[in-house]
Homo-oligomer: A and B are copies of this chain.
Amino acid sequence: MILTVTLNAALDVTYEVGALERGESHRVGVVRERAGGKGINVARVARALGCEVTATGFAGGVVGELIRDDLRGSGIVHDFVTVSGTSRRTLTVVETESGEATVLNEAGPRVLPEEWRAFLGHFGALAASASVVVLSGSLPPGVPVDAYAELARLAPGRVVLDADGTALTEGLRGRPDVVKPNADELTRATAAGRPVAERAGELRDAGAGTVLVSLGADGMLAVTPDGVWRAVPPEVVVGNPTGAGDAAVAATARALLLGRPWDELVRDAVALSAAAVAAPVAGDFDPDLYVRLLPEIAIEGLSCPS
């Protein structure tokens, strides 16, 4: 089983308007609502790939209930810890005339110390039967900065960490099996002025087993204990890049679950990531494009297995 953790789960709300004009009043045409947050996106993709998956994290208030309702409707097994605060919403205002998207992110509720302690017990019980644990996204207010290290240490299975800033750097102390920064996240987490492969090596030195650097249209660089691989997609896919990283993480979790070799993992992650860009909503992917791209991903081994 894959267990995904979303400590800062959200209800993703989308408003469609003709054009957004500052200072004006707008009639909202279409309203869409869906459970979101990076770990929930990973769970959606992993489930669509046929994996057994459970989503956990914090949920609270009426927005938390809407998150649970949506997961139930989507057939995603979930077991969230209830917090006293109300879960956050993220609002995306999409302009139908131009396609421009403006995003407004609520902060999310403050997690109380006793709620965090309750989560540690809850997570421990779920992680005991998970082969792979995925830790994704930002930490809500009130959660310790080394939260991901603490969770990684409690997980007996493999651990994938996808985070930014101190949530990533402090999380490395928990020695996750895989971290998946994008280029910006890698830049923020490492010393300035060094090439990507060396920066990835820094994260390995700090505790990560393998570092998968997602490079957008340029594919992925994998710095693993068994060598370095570079995977490049055959074409640039135009669309919505939100959720592409989550698709790569879902592919990674499945490959770890199935014990696939690194080159196969990276190929799969790059194909699924590109297929996610082609889908308008984070957590979805274009299955036809995925199947078509998979054999066309160029894989290059940059150093021999040690």
Contacts and interface: CB of A to CB of B under 8 A. Distances in A.
A142 to B, nearest CB: 17
A114 interface: no
Contacts of A17: 104
Counted per complex, copies of this chain come to 2
Interface in A65-91: 65-66, 91
A105 interface: yes
A101 B27 contact: no
B91 A24 contact: no
A31 B13 CA distance: 15
Contacts of A23: 100-102
A21 to B, nearest CB: 7
Interface in A89-128: 91, 93, 95, 100-107
A24 B100 CA distance: 9
Interface residues on A, range: 20 to 34
A103 B31 contact: no
B100 A22 contact: yes
Interface string A1-41: 00000000000000101001111111111010000000000
B65 A103 contact: no
A62 interface: yes
Between A26, A93, A104, A105, the greatest number of chain B beta carbons within 10 A of the residue's beta carbon is seen for A104
A27 B91 CA distance: 11
B31 A105 contact: no
Contacts of A31: 106
Interface of A: 15, 17, 20-29, 31, 62, 65-66, 91, 93, 95, 100-107
Closest 5 pairs between A and B when the two form their complex, measured CB to CB: A25-B103, A23-B100, A28-B106, A26-B104, A62-B62
Given A20-B22, A23-B100, 18 more contacts: A15-B91, A17-B104, A21-B102, A22-B22, A22-B102, A23-B101, A26-B102, A26-B103, A26-B104, A26-B105, A27-B107, A28-B106, A28-B107, A29-B107, A62-B62, A62-B65, A91-B91, A93-B104
